[in-house]
Structure 1
């Protein structure tokens, strides 16, 4: 975990020589406990993945359609989008809960709201009640989704922080895979719920959606609170105990624990000195924060507007357009694609700190551009000439496209502590707006333009490549505060260099950190 660590150049970490490498983490009981706590936070993302996949599945159930008078048109669109609308409604409140009550309390609140909402959804007897329940699911999800990745970042062991934060979004696919499996069972006349003549055919899959939240409600008490949040509230003793227990087997005098604790306190003091006002306007007051804002919003829209959601939400319509109309075949391809995506995303998340986020993002956007162009060509060939081979190649291009889409690793560590919760709120708000746009505009445009609509994404992906090359910074092997120096420039870098010299006595070696200067950071940013 680390506060403003020694300023370093390249990939050298200021705390690297303080880390105990005598045995791997899986042989350390308390590290295993810590990673189990992180795993419990990671499943927050599965609720969202399950929800999106479940709604597609419910629409194929006659019992669900009969229960809600066969919703269509605008009402069906609202059923799909209302969860994200509920998420947007909670964004003004979630950062205050996370910063005021704590990261853990925010996750608990979100999980409780989602449990209540899922009960209402399962018990729905009208389309209005079902829509209201889904709105409430999105509302609760925002509190949990805004706090869980922050808490992961702030409790993870230094060498595991990058992979842990990168794995968060990959768990979306676990929820989707669970639902796809449920859909396959649902279609099975022997084991599934499809054959149930009553409304329980759709109420059972709806009830299963609460499972991740129920697990969190019962087990959240075993997760440690963020040491950074504890220090920000003056609870230094508790913060020190958390760091010592999980990062040094209870040794409060461990050099890494001392280093982390002092750096966290120094980071909070510094942030308070330079950011007396940490309101929403803080994101536009300084050049560094404006750079952060630009990257956050761009990555949020890129994650949804790269063509991926055209496939994810309307794959069945696309399959129909290329002559693949058998529902079982469509479901099988979709299920295989989700499993494939999950594996790729997990591997990329684990490699993000070995390869670096910038190289992964550059490779991702270039690969997406190439294979989207090929998808467009295949779609056009089938639409114009009825070329069956092109239709089959189109399926292969989808898998290759998603292979590159999933290797990008978004970075949640570019925000300083006072802006972190609000920054994630802005990120998630932009994400939801882009999703809502997709859910309404994509089917209309696809129906009107056919394969020509793919050309819009060809142009957009070309823009993404240019943006990533120009603006994305590398945070590989840097602490949170070293990353801050890359954005905030000379003043922050100078402070970190000075603070590193003051804290040099904590470390076993001090020469490297004392030699580091603000000019090194500034020069690296220029390069």
Structure 2
């Protein structure tokens, strides 16, 4: 193996692990790896249900049967319809980190899925406002448990060569759900009954049922087993899925040693594994700043206006026909799905920090133009200005989609195992606080101050660019267990490097032993 700095780009067709360069494994030729990637695909699809819900609520607001059934909600009432799901999610976040650390990832997936199905059933069969709101609270409680757990499990079972791309795609598949929901509600527009809004809600349960049927066979996180003093089970999983069962495989041994070493170092540091850990060191305080701000950036970048209230934005620029609004919603979600998936494959090639800076700066420029055109339309209404606003929404989302998948991959990779569940929960908590605000306040603000409300998001995007420029760090090409050296400085780096030297010696000894066995045979 070639010793090389992990900050440099690896040779084509290779990847880094433990400071070494390995050739990429052609996973499609390996039976167990093909199975692992199928399981990861199922985990990726969990975010589809979340995206489905957001787009579905956009679509339902354009359906006359839904509006008539719930007496045309608007302002605070309409905000409550949407934000109650975030209230349920915030409740789920309170217990989630303790469940993840003590019960494991798979139990959390099962637990969250059951609550999601209960919520879907109640929402589909709602007979009044209270039942619909209660159903969405339960749905939000289960949904947050699933969508927080799945990226963590993908991060911890995925092969090192594809980890960043797979977790980024997991974040991007939010838009696959939005895509399906947008066109589902467009299709049910033609149903002349209450089923025009009940049917989309039932469809939402398909993704959760699929995951619940497969989750029993998905492997538990090897890092969870190591943390629970069951390293043999961790090695068995790594060997089975990464090397077709060969526990002596050099790459498997290096992965296993990195995981056990990293978790042992975390435990030996007298860490309490509590939320207070985020305040104890400079590196952890920087991690806390990043995950909190990234959670806020995910929802306070202006996207909340379109995610839940596209119909209000369209009304403000003279596009009021329900059929046309649903077509625009479908076109936008199709555009978002295509661009998100495309950008996911460049997360390593382009780097995390450049992607985030270009994304935020591009959103800022697009949103400023969007605001100016909306102000002009308010005084001189014309179809050309309305079309300009619509065009800027698409350009805005082009830049937003550039980094949206990184919400899952960047926040999971900067956190060491002992802090990963709690840190990801903090990020989601910040995101859902912002989302709760958006869902409740946005329709009220749009009703009262119209386009002037956009100025808030223009200012916030300026703050976003500044924070990313000064505080976010680059982590591309760095293996999961080695990211800590970027955040925690030379002391931890020296300790980790000593362990890596042991790993290197072990790898050489293992290679020599294998050679001797082959010769004697």
| TM score, norm. by length of structure 1 | 0.90
Does 1:215 pair with 2:213? no
CA deviation digits over 1:478-517, x for unaligned, max 9? 012321111111221111111111111234599xxxxxxx
Map 1:243-262 to 2 at 5 A. Answer: 243-262=238-257
- Which range moves more in the overlay, 297-306 or 62-71? 62-71
- After superposition, the Cα gap between the structure-2 partners of 1:154 and 1:366, relative to the gap in structure 1 and judged at 3 Å, is same
Map 1:339-488 to 2 at 5 A. Answer: 339-408=334-403, 409-410=406-407, 411=410, 412-488=412-488
Deviation at 1:59, TM superposition (A): 3.3
Q: Which of 180, 186, 195 is matched with 2:192 structurally?
A: 195
SS of equivalent to 1:324? coil
- After superposition, the Cα gap between the structure-2 partners of 1:231 and 1:288, relative to the gap in structure 1 and judged at 3 Å, is same
Does 1:295 pair with 2:290? yes
What residue number does 1:19 align with?
Answer: 22
Partners of 1:502 and 1:465 lie apart in 2 by: 41
SS of equivalent to 1:157? coil
- After superposition, the Cα gap between the structure-2 partners of 1:242 and 1:343, relative to the gap in structure 1 and judged at 3 Å, is same
The runs of 5 or more residues in structure 2 that have no matched partner are 11-15, 511-521
What residue number does 2:319 align with?
Answer: 324
Does 1:174 pair with 2:156? no
* Contact 2:291–2:427 under 8 Å retained in 1: yes
SS of equivalent to 2:94? coil
Partners of 2:72 and 2:375 lie apart in 1 by: 33
Q: Which of 113, 133, 136 is matched with 1:134 structurally?
A: 136
- Which range moves more in the overlay, 307-316 or 423-432? 307-316
Partners of 2:308 and 2:68 lie apart in 1 by: 23
Partners of 2:122 and 2:315 lie apart in 1 by: 34
What residue number does 1:517 align with?
Answer: none
The runs of 5 or more residues in structure 1 that have no matched partner are 189-193, 511-527
Map 1:66-105 to 2 at 5 A. Answer: 66-105=68-107
Partners of 2:323 and 2:63 lie apart in 1 by: 14
* Contact 1:7–1:14 under 8 Å retained in 2: no
Deviation at 1:201, TM superposition (A): 3.6
* Contact 1:42–1:168 under 8 Å retained in 2: yes
- Which range moves more in the overlay, 256-265 or 381-390? 381-390
SS of equivalent to 2:133? helix
* Contact 1:381–1:387 under 8 Å retained in 2: no
Deviation at 1:461, TM superposition (A): 1.2
Does 1:31 pair with 2:33? yes
Partners of 1:449 and 1:279 lie apart in 2 by: 43
SS of equivalent to 2:346? helix
- After superposition, the Cα gap between the structure-2 partners of 1:132 and 1:386, relative to the gap in structure 1 and judged at 3 Å, is closer
Partners of 1:14 and 1:59 lie apart in 2 by: 49
* Contact 1:31–1:246 under 8 Å retained in 2: yes
SS of equivalent to 1:19? strand
Partners of 1:166 and 1:268 lie apart in 2 by: 24
Count of residue pairs brought into register by the alignment: 498
Partners of 1:140 and 1:47 lie apart in 2 by: 11
| TM score, norm. by length of structure 2 | 0.91
Partners of 1:261 and 1:20 lie apart in 2 by: 18
What residue number does 2:519 align with?
Answer: none
- After superposition, the Cα gap between the structure-2 partners of 1:373 and 1:187, relative to the gap in structure 1 and judged at 3 Å, is same
Deviation at 1:120, TM superposition (A): 2.1
Deviation at 1:46, TM superposition (A): 1.3
- After superposition, the Cα gap between the structure-2 partners of 1:279 and 1:254, relative to the gap in structure 1 and judged at 3 Å, is same
Deviation at 1:445, TM superposition (A): 2.3
- After superposition, the Cα gap between the structure-2 partners of 1:213 and 1:493, relative to the gap in structure 1 and judged at 3 Å, is same
SS of equivalent to 1:243? helix
CA deviation digits over 1:36-69, x for unaligned, max 9? 1111111111111111222233334444445445
Partners of 2:149 and 2:123 lie apart in 1 by: 24
CA deviation digits over 1:269-314, x for unaligned, max 9? 0011114311111111211111001000111111111111112222
Deviation at 1:245, TM superposition (A): 1.2
Partners of 2:243 and 2:209 lie apart in 1 by: 31
* Contact 1:230–1:239 under 8 Å retained in 2: yes
- After superposition, the Cα gap between the structure-2 partners of 1:72 and 1:396, relative to the gap in structure 1 and judged at 3 Å, is closer
SS of equivalent to 1:37? helix
SS of equivalent to 2:413? coil
RMSD: 2.1
- Which range moves more in the overlay, 149-158 or 65-74? 65-74
